Amino acid sequence: MTTNTAYSATAPERAEIDALQEPAVVEFGANWCGYCQGAQPLIAAAFARHPEVRHIRVEDGKGRKLGRSFGVKLWPTLIFLKEGKEVARLVRPANAEAIAEALGRIDRNA
């Protein structure tokens, strides 16, 4: 698994996300967002226990189609996917345990 250090300005198409077969988390945010920066240690701690889960970090904002297709309104928003289907969502997560629990729902090795 590769964890990006910044939100990618280039977002995959929604069809690519829907076609994912491996467990994945799409994280929406912005590099300048204070809430996003504050959540990074929690997200990193939770992902450390689930290294096989794909982590896709996407820059979101006005006119960004992928975030709109998921109904993202606040950052960071984490969408937990199993076989391309949303099974959990966390908005502005406040603790690593909530993230880890959601990861456990999609991680086939948990």
Residues designated as active site: 33, 36
Q: Which residue has the tokens 């909530």?
A: 98
Tell how strand 54-59 and strand 24-29 pair up. Answer: parallel
Cα–Cα–Cα angle for 46, 49, 30, nearest 5°?
Answer: 35
Tokens representing 73? 């309104």
